[in-house]
Amino acid sequence: MKYCSHCGAEVAEDAAFCPKCGSSLYDTYGENNVAVSDKDWLATILLCWFLGVFGIHRFYVGKIGSAIAMIFTLGGLGIWVLVDFIIILCGDFKDKDGKVIKRS
């Protein structure tokens, strides 16, 4: 069972709209019932591509600790950045709250 993020009403697992207030349930919950970040997917992937070795995309999503680690390792000599890039591309990258950054 999940809950409408707007009015708090119980809604069916596969419902796309809240039956009570009529708002879309996909603003906060994606298809797999995971919370979706409000961070911009395009900004994240561009920052990763151009400034990934400086961990800028991780700063952007609020992952400060790993962002700093990324600077010191130069993005794991590029490998870590490449892995991040693929994860972002697949829409599985998460922000500091564990919310998925989806392509909008």
Q: Which residues are near Zn ion by CB under 5 A?
A: 4, 6-7, 9, 18, 20-21
By beta-carbon proximity to Zn ion, the closer residue of 10 and 92 is 10
Question: Which C-beta is closer to Zn ion: that of 14 or that of 72?
Answer: 14
Q: What is the smallest separation between the CB atom of 13 and Zn ion, expressed in angstroms?
A: 15
User: Residue 2: which of 12, 56, 42, 73 has the closest Cα?
Assistant: 12
CB of residue 49 to Zn ion, shortest distance in Å: 38
What tokens were used for 91?
């829409």
| Residue 3 or 50 having the CB closest to Zn ion | 3
